[in-house]
Amino acid sequence: MKENAVLELHNINKSFPGVRALQGVDFTLREGEIHALMGENGAGKSTLIKVITGVYEKEDGEIYLAGNEGTVNIHSPQDAQDLGISTVYQEITLCPNLTVAENMYIGRTKSVMQNWKKMNEDADKILASLDIPAKASQQLASCSLAVQQMVAIARAVDMECKVLILDEPTSSLDDNEVQKLFGLMRDLKKKGVGIIFVTHFLDQVYEVCDRITVLRDGKLVGEYEIADLPRVELVSKMLGKELDDLSDIKGEVSNEDDTDKAEKVFEAEGLQSDAGIKPFDFYIRKGEVNGFTGLLGSGRSECVRAIFGADRVIGGTVKKNGKVVKISKPIDAMREGIAYLPEDRKVDGIVGDLSVRDNIILAAQVLRGFFKPISKAKAYKLADEYIDLLDIKTASADTPIKSLSGGNQQKVILARWLLMHPEYLILDEPTRGIDVGTKVDIQKLVLKLASEGMSVTFISSETDEMLRTCSRLVVMRDRKVVGELKGEELTQSGIMKTIAGGESNE
Amino acid sequence: MSKGKGTFNKQLLIPIAALVALALFNLIKDPSFFKIALGENSAGDPVLSGYLITILDYGSELAILAIGMTLVTAASGGQDISVGAAIAIAGSVILRVLCGTNSRPEELQAPVIVAFLVACLVAMLFGAFNGILVAYFKIQPMVATLILFTAGRSIAAWINNNELPIISEPSFGYYGGYIPGVPIPTPFFIAMICVVVIMLVLKFTTLGLYTQAVGINGSSSRLNGINPQFIKFLTFVILGLCVAVAGLIKVSRLSTINYSVIAKDIEMDAILAVALGGNSLSGGKFNMTASILGAYVIQFLTTTLYKMNVQSDALSAYKAVVVIILVVLSTPIVRKKLSQLGAMILPKKKEA
């Protein structure tokens, strides 16, 4: 083993039917470092993590762990835990209806009897030492998501882990919460814990990590010190090509001023839904890309959901080309030519067990009607066409969508709505949790569709993505529309100021 | 890109394997199980008889119910346990319409088709009742249908003032027996009509796609313009229709009704047929052919057990063993092990 290393992997191989997920991958984690594991979706990050945590068994290769003679065998998550490898997943896997302390100690007591008082005291001690703002006796559900995430980490830490794996822990946290989490990670680092950090946010990698290991197509690209690897290079290493795509896009947008004069396709007045947003006005012109921005929970999604009829509309009118239309449920919106790609792909988007083909034709089929099924041959033709068009990576059109990677799932959902040939396409966080390559693909596609006359609303938590794609931004704060930015005003600081309500020095 | 043509659906392997196993068992135990004889019934008409004919006969009512149960399972992720009681109601309605006010009529008071249509309407109404509880009030299907399961047989008795009507008109017996001159039991033909109808419905409507989508992800289905509640409701109504057909066969067999015994425990067999067809009982994807095949396999099992002189009281215990085996076999853990085993024994397994 190398000096200081707590975990070393050599020549790890793992295959699934039809895919070589890992091919001879090496990985080294040192004591007291935060090590980012980067790669596009399908690069093998998750597989590698699952090999380390015992969810999958490696086919080949050796794992060394500090304090153990020779190689270690990890056959199950229990083995991994016993060896001091702890994992905190993207989705919180604790029990919200138990207390914080119970969550920290569940499944760990060896005796039949439980000393509740001592357990709570111990828990409080750990929480205090990690500076986590929660009480042991508090019900977990009453904590914010970030604190729940931290409790999950506290649980891992208390199990005296040497290796802590954080798999996309920040994807549901806001900036403030992310900072708290980073604080905790730095504390642990000082205590000598080796942390593997998986994330899609490049900013976060550069903020908190010491080293980066990049994977691509199941192979190791390399291990780098953070200072030696500028952002652009990281991205190009992940994609395996020189990246000038991002700057390309920008050039395309700027010459689109004439959309200002195009007619308004959809207009809403005083629209309000039961999801708790204040009544808002809204319009979109033909061939325009606009966006909703604001902090997490500001009501961005709720606005577009109201337009699509996804939440119950309780007030206001919607006009299409100047004529009032009634949209009270999704099918009404679809009939008016509105398509909506929902924020939560897993919950609202994919129909997991159905094939890619069925997932692609679903919306178009519903629109055609109950008594006019699309024939199997036609469905295959359409599916293949869109698989080609969007470059969806799937074994076949019959593959269940749930076995695709996140980015490809998102493309399937996108194909579903494009197949409907909508006049107005709403994309709510289409790029969340997917790889950089697909992000760029989607942004390009949005601009292409708009240039062909489709109106698009694009929502993203990454402001620079919005700045690149949108020609007009609706800014929201506290479930209310507080401003609109276009042209010159479209800058990071412009958005910040509007979100903060002009009191940017506050 | 593969077009999926000619690829054999693996799901059908489960009921077929069970069928082969049962057939082999009987072949070894007593080959006379497979004997089919052409004889005459009491009316002097030619009829086929033998264990296989019994399976065809009684398996058919189960197959009809399995159609509806498959759809309910797929869409709602639960099962309707009230079908036995609902059959009692449907049967009771048929007899009531045929008998009018007199419980022992000399001749039928209404054409059978009218009685049947009224029964369809009533059974669909009860299906709608279950459907509303499940789809709109979001009650667990088993809990929701427990109401009718409990009350159904009393309602059936009440429809005929707790009398036992008897139909003496022989033509009424055709539906559950034999049409003169046709040696094959009529229920088989009725089941085949139902099968053809459902296959056409699945081909020419989007019912199959919608039920599966709703069963897998209701929230996503809604955002794709489907009305998940209505689809769930619809499957219960369709099951109601299946119940009415099965009810007609049941009362036709006896030309009378016994409220507490008619179609007793048939819901369990129907659910078992769905499970034996390899369909997940928690909803989602389904294979209709496999369910229908499953229904006949269940009847094969029941008949085999009867032939071995297992008492009808003890039958459920034997079936329970089969259920346990099936459920355990269908768990992901065992399936994974089995496929590993299969890969070891047959390194290059051919496409069936």
pLDDT in tens, B30-71: 888 898 888 888 777 888 989 999 999 999 999 999 999 999
Interface test mutation site (partner B, options A350, A362, A378, max chain B beta carbons within 10 A): A362
Rg (CA), chain B: 21
Q: Give the mean pLDDT of B257-283.
A: 90
Q: What ipTM was estimated for this complex?
A: 0.84
- A119 shares a domain with A89: yes
Q: Is residue A210 part of a domain?
A: yes
Name the closest residue on chain B to residue A401, using Cα atoms. B216
- A174 and A291 part of one domain: no
Name residues whose C-beta falls within 8 Å of residue B98's C-beta, 6 or more positions apart in sequence. Answer: B105, B108, B109, B110, B112, B115, B165, B167, B172
- Indicate the residue among A182, A216, A243 that finishes a domain: A243
Alpha-carbon span A29 to B281, nearest angstrom: 45
Boundary-marking domain end, from A211, A243, A275: A243
Asked if residue A460 belongs to a domain, the reply is: yes
Dump pLDDT digits (tens) for B185-243.
Answer: 999 999 999 999 999 999 999 999 999 999 999 999 999 999 999 999 999 999 999 99
The full 3-state SS of A160-198, as one line of letters, equals CCCEEEEECCCCCCCHHHHHHHHHHHHHHHHCCCEEEEE
pLDDT at B80 over 90: yes
Say which amino acid occupies B288: M
Q: What whole-number distance in Å separates Cα of residue A499 and Cα of residue B75?
A: 44
Quick check: is A428 in a domain?
A: no
User: What's residue B349's pLDDT?
Assistant: 45
Residue numbers in B near A351 (CB within 8 A): 212-213, 216-217, 220-221
The share of chain B scoring above pLDDT 90, in percent, equals 60
Q: Do A363 and B225 touch (CB under 8 A)?
A: yes
Structural domain contains residue A112: yes
A381 CA: distance to closest CA in chain B (Å): 10
Architecture of the B11-309 domain: Orthogonal Bundle (1.10)
Q: Write out chain A residues lying below 8 Å of B219, CB-based.
A: 347-348
The CA distance from B204 to the nearest CA of chain A, in Å, is: 6
Residue B206 is nearest to which of A373, A384, A416, comparing CB atoms?
Answer: A373
Q: What is the least distance, in Å, from the CA of A441 to any CA of chain B?
A: 23
Contacts of A354 in chain B (CB under 8 A): 209, 212-213, 216, 285
Is residue A298 situated within a structural domain? yes
Comparing C-alpha atoms, which of A392, A326, A306, A331 is closest to residue A357? Answer: A392
Which range of residues forms the domain containing residue A44?
Answer: 5-243
- Structural domain contains residue A162: yes
Distance CA A484, CA A474 (A): 5
Q: Are residues A249 and A210 in the same domain?
A: no
Question: Which of B206, B210, B225 minimises the CB distance to A330?
Answer: B225
Domain check: are A169 and A231 in the same one?
yes
Same domain, A238 and A257: no
Contact A359/A401 with Cβ under 8 angstroms?
yes
Partners of B285 on chain A (C-beta within 8 Å) are: 353-354
- Kindly provide the b/e burial profile for residues B225-262, where b requires at least 16 CB atoms within 10 angstroms of the residue's own CB: bbbbbebbbbbbbbbbbbbbbbbbbbbbbebebebeeb
Is 0.80 surpassed by the pTM of this model?
no
> What's the rounded mean pLDDT across residues B108-121?
94
Mutate to test the interface with A, among B199, B224, B280 (most CBs of A within 10 A): B224
Two tokens, residue B9? 């659906």
The C-alpha of B219 sits at a distance from chain A's nearest C-alpha, in angstroms, of 5
pLDDT of residue B314: 86
Assess contact for B303 and B55: CB atoms under 8 A: yes
Across B94-115, average pLDDT: 88
Nearest CA of chain B to the CA of A363: how many Å?
A: 5
d(CA B126, CA B119): 11
Smallest Cβ–Cβ distance between B206 and the set A351, A352, A370 belongs to A370
**Record: contact A330-B223, CB cut-off 8 A:** yes
Averaged pLDDT for residues B118-128: 97
A210 and A252 share one domain:
no
CB contact under 8 A, A397 and B1: yes
Facing A365 at nearest CB: one of B209, B223, B285? B209
B74, two tokens: 């797929």
Residues of chain A with pLDDT under 50: 243-248, 250-256, 502-506
In terms of pLDDT, which residue wins out, B141 or A88? B141
* B285 contacts A330? CB cut-off 8 A: no
CB contacts of A308 in chain B (<8 Å) are 223
**What residues of chain A lie within 8 A of the CB of B1, using their CB?**
380, 384, 396-397
Decide if A340 and B3 are in contact by the 8 Å CB cutoff. Answer: no
Closest CA to A267 of A328, A327, A331: A327
* Nearest residue in B to A311, CA atom: B223
Q: What is the CATH number of the domain that holds A204?
A: 3.40.50.300
- Domain total for chain A? 2
Residues A196 and A108 in one domain: yes
Q: Among A227, A243, A259, which residue terminates a domain?
A: A243
A224 and A256 in a single domain? The answer is no
CA distance A350 to A368: 20
Q: How confident is the model at residue B293 (pLDDT cuts 50, 70, 90)?
A: very high
Determine contact, residues A259/A307, Cβ cutoff 8 Å. Answer: no
Per-residue model confidence (pLDDT) at position A241:
58
Q: Which residues of A265-302 are buried (b: 16+ CB within 10 A; e: fewer)?
A: bbbbeebbbebebebbebbbbbbbbbbbbbbeebbbbb
Name the residue among A350, A367, A372 with its Cβ closest to that of B220: A350
Beta pairing partners, A476: A294, A481
Residues A213 and A316 grouped into a single domain = no
Domain shared by A250 and A231, yes or no: no
User: A341 lies in a domain?
Assistant: no
Are residues B206 and A365, on separate chains, in Cβ contact within 8 Å?
A: yes
A480 contacts A300 by C-beta, under 8 angstroms: no
Residues in chain B within 8 Å Cβ distance of A373: 203-206, 209
User: Considering the domain boundaries, does residue A88 fall inside one?
Assistant: yes
Residues A269, A180 within the same domain: no
Q: Are residues A9 and A131 in the same domain?
A: yes
Contact A347 B219 (CB under 8 A): yes
* Count of residues in chain A: 506
Best A346, A353, A410, A420 member to test B by mutation, with max B CBs in 10 Å, is: A353
The reported pLDDT for the residue numbered A91 is 67
A353–B212: do the CB atoms touch at under 8 Å?
yes
